[in-house]
């Protein structure tokens, strides 16, 4: 007779087949058999303090490793707690699998402990959500859920496994355990469209390209670099696409984006939707030729008319275009010298205008000074994470990751509380890297208890709290609308010593009030080799330009 195997052990085998080597979890009686399977398969179990963190960590793991992340949570409140993390991954196009427990099938609709309609709840925020109907199908459905994560633009999947299905044992030879079940996802785009884009590039005097999140998702960094260099195209980067080119690269531009989008004759948007971050496409010159490249057919041409749309993998498409254009581009590329110089002038002027703020000696500390110090502190091996409101808006302008894939922000859901989870996943997946996270005090408080998990698993990172004792990004809008007094309702936080909190939990902590102390404190945190929090008191009366313009609502 064939060996018997339980559902939890089948989950672990399927995770192993997918290459997943860690799960993020918070325990519950419904899911413990999965842990037992993980022991056999050598899969690490990282147990966190809140299920939201488990789901964000799975999202972060996917971003860092290029493999799907996995979070395992118990039925009912375990699963509802994880909803925000799944939703964040959904908007950020991050492939992850959430496995939720469920009451036994034999007690279906009887009011079992922690029973909820999880699949109904998860359906609108996942690419795939299903119940595993039998123990034999456990591994089959896990691999199906992973495959669904990669259909079009990636995203999360959800599976609930009823307790009796998970705990039951079936003969190993009756269980389907897929081992090879995925097609290549690298579509190079329609060859005719590639030719057209090559032609547009050959005739363009003032092209520019925006390298979005999918450039990193598709691991298209080298292709993007070849493209901008071979064709001499200035590049802007957003989301996880930041860092595709290093700061100082002749094709790296950031502060002149609005100017470029107004003046360019050809704008190529790669792997980022026309959502609020792009002003829904409204901020692009109406006379420019606009080309959009995306993994998802549904994203191309949405919210704004385009001249050419290409569905495909960012790296594969850009490589094909570079190849198609080489040979016919020589003069065209040389002609762009002036355009590049024009943008560089705009860029340099914008930088010079801000520099005094970045060097400000003010007390309380000007947030520009804080983010400037952080930017100076980052090395090629620092993964930077931003988690907060106004303080992170400042950092978006000033902090430049030095390497591809070294920038993490929540993405278009704008979820506060991703920071500790992303730090956890980044450090665990890439112990050779340094992790630097900037938090708003409001954002940190949402999921900050998981600092303890970082201590417990010995995952050192450098955490900085831009502490203004407020939910400042919201306060600005309230004060503008209702006046300064009424503008203080619902957005005030205490003067909390997050450095003491870090020490209480076994980490390193320091408080900074003087801007000259920021750099030495960062250095000491680096040398401490511990999870750390530097509590930097920043001026609550200073707001980022993006917050003052309320651009996120426009």
Ligand X SMILES: Cc1ncc(C[n+]2csc(CCOP(=O)(O)OP(=O)(O)O)c2C)c(N)n1
Q: Write out the residues near ligand X by the rule CB under 6 A.
A: 388-391, 414-417, 440-443, 466, 468, 470-474
Element (H, E) at 270: strand 266-270
Select from ligand X, Mg ion, none the partner in contact with residue 443, using the beta carbon and a kind-dependent cut-off of 5 to 8 Å: ligand X
Element (H, E) at 422: helix 419-429
Cα 183 to Cα 130, 296, 331, 359, 475: the distances in Å are 22, 16, 40, 52, 49
Alpha carbons within 13 A on the beta-carbon side of 210: 29
CB–CB of 330/507 below 8 Å?
no
The two tokens of residue 112 are: 């079992």
Nearest approach, Cβ of 392 to ligand X (angstroms)?
7
Nearest approach, Cβ of 52 to Mg ion (angstroms)?
19
The two tokens of residue 508 are: 């390193």
The two tokens of residue 412 are: 């278009």
Task: Give the residues lining the site for Mg ion (CB under 5 A).
Answer: 440-442, 468, 470, 472
Select from Mg ion, ligand X, none the partner in contact with residue 88, using the beta carbon and a kind-dependent cut-off of 5 to 8 Å: none
Select from 270, 278, 281 the least CA-distant residue to 321: 270
Select from Mg ion, ligand X, none the partner in contact with residue 473, using the beta carbon and a kind-dependent cut-off of 5 to 8 Å: ligand X
Name which of 322 and 470 has its Cβ closer to Mg ion. Answer: 470
Nearest approach, Cβ of 477 to ligand X (angstroms)?
10
Name which of 232 and 470 has its Cβ closer to Mg ion. Answer: 470
Nearest approach, Cβ of 416 to ligand X (angstroms)?
4
The structure tokens 């998981």 sit at: 450
Select from Mg ion, ligand X, none the partner in contact with residue 416, using the beta carbon and a kind-dependent cut-off of 5 to 8 Å: ligand X
Nearest approach, Cβ of 469 to ligand X (angstroms)?
8
Q: Measured over all CA atoms, what is the biggest interatomic distance in the chain, rounded to whole angstroms?
A: 77
Q: How many helices (H) and strands (E) does the chain have?
A: 23, 19
Nearest approach, Cβ of 468 to ligand X (angstroms)?
5
Select from Mg ion, ligand X, none the partner in contact with residue 453, using the beta carbon and a kind-dependent cut-off of 5 to 8 Å: none
Name which of 36 and 500 has its Cβ closer to ligand X. Answer: 500
Select from ligand X, Mg ion, none the partner in contact with residue 474, using the beta carbon and a kind-dependent cut-off of 5 to 8 Å: ligand X
Nearest approach, Cβ of 357 to ligand X (angstroms)?
16
Name which of 28 and 388 has its Cβ closer to ligand X. Answer: 388
Name which of 160 and 390 has its Cβ closer to ligand X. Answer: 390
In the complex, residue closest to ligand X by CB: 440
Q: Cβ of 539: how many Cβ atoms within 10 Å?
A: 18
Name which of 339 and 384 has its Cβ closer to ligand X. Answer: 384
The two tokens of residue 294 are: 């995306």
CA 548 to chain centre: 25
The structure tokens 């609550």 sit at: 540
CA 316/CA 107 separation, integer angstroms = 50
Select from ligand X, Mg ion, none the partner in contact with residue 415, using the beta carbon and a kind-dependent cut-off of 5 to 8 Å: ligand X
Select from ligand X, Mg ion, none the partner in contact with residue 414, using the beta carbon and a kind-dependent cut-off of 5 to 8 Å: ligand X
44-47 and 22-26 beta bridge pairing: parallel
Nearest approach, Cβ of 496 to ligand X (angstroms)?
11
Name which of 218 and 502 has its Cβ closer to ligand X. Answer: 502
Name which of 106 and 550 has its Cβ closer to ligand X. Answer: 550
Alpha carbons within 13 A on the beta-carbon side of 21: 8
């Amino acid at each position: 007779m064939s060996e018997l195997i339980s559902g939890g052990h089948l989950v672990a085998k399927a995770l192993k087949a997918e290459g997943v080597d860690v799960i993020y979890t918070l325990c519950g009686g419904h899911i413990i058999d999965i842990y037992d399977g993980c022991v056999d398969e050598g899969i690490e179990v990282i147990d966190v303090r809140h299920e939201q963190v488990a789901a964000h960590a799975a999202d972060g793991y996917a971003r860092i490793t290029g493999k799907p992340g996995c979070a395992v949570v118990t039925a009912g409140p375990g699963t509802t707690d994880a909803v925000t993390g799944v939703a964040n991954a959904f908007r950020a196009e991050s492939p992850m699998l959430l496995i939720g427990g469920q009451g036994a099938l034999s007690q279906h609709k009887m009011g079992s402990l922690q029973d909820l309609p999880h699949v109904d709840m998860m359906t609108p925020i996942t690419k795939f959500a299903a119940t595993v109907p039998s123990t034999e199908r456990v591994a089959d459905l896990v691999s199906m859920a992973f495959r669904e994560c990669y259909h079009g633009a990636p995203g999360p999947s959800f599976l609930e496994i009823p307790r009796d299905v998970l705990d039951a044992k079936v003969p190993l030879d009756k269980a389907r355990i897929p081992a090879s079940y995925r097609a290549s996802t690298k579509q190079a785009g329609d060859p005719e469209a590639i030719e057209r884009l090559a032609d547009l590039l050959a005739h363009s005097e003032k092209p520019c390209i925006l390298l979005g999140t999918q450039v990193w998702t598709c691991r298209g960094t080298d292709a993007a670099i070849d493209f901008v260099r071979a064709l001499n195209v200035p590049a802007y980067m957003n989301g996880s696409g930041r860092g595709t080119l290093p700061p100082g690269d002749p094709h790296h531009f950031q502060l002149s984006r609005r100017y470029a989008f107004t003046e360019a004759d050809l704008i190529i948007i790669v792997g980022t939707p026309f959502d609020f971050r792009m002003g829904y496409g409204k901020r692009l010159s109406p006379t420019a030729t606009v080309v959009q490249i995306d993994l998802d057919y549904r994203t191309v041409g949405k919210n704004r008319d385009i001249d050419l749309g290409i569905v495909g993998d960012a790296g594969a498409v850009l490589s094909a275009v570079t190849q198609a254009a080489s040979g016919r581009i020589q003069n065209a590329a040389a002609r762009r010298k002036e355009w590049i110089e024009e943008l560089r002038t705009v860029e340099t002027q914008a930088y010079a205008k801000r520099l005094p703020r970045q060097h400000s000696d003010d007390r309380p500390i000007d947030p520009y000074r804080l983010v400037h110090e952080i930017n100076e502190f980052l090395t090629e091996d620092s993964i930077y994470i931003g988690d907060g409101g106004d303080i992170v808006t400042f950092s978006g302008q000033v902090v430049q990751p030095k390497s591809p894939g070294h920038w993490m922000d929540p993405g278009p859901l704008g979820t506060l509380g991703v920071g500790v989870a992303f730090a956890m996943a980044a450090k665990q997946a890439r112990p050779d890297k340094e992790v630097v996270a900037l938090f708003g005090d409001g954002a940190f408080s949402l999921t900050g208890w998981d600092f303890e998990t970082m201590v417990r698993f010995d995952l050192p990172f450098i955490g900085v709290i831009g502490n203004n004792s407020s939910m400042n990004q919201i306060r600005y809008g309230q004060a503008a609308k209702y006046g300064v007094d009424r503008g203080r309702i619902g957005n005030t936080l205490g003067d909390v010593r997050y450095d003491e909190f870090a020490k209480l939990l076994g980490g390193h902590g320091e408080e900074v009030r003087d801007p000259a102390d920021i750099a030495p404190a960062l250095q000491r945190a680096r040398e401490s080799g511990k999870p750390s929090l530097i509590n930097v008191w920043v001026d609550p009366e200073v707001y980022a330009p993006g917050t003052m313009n309320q651009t996120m609502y426009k």
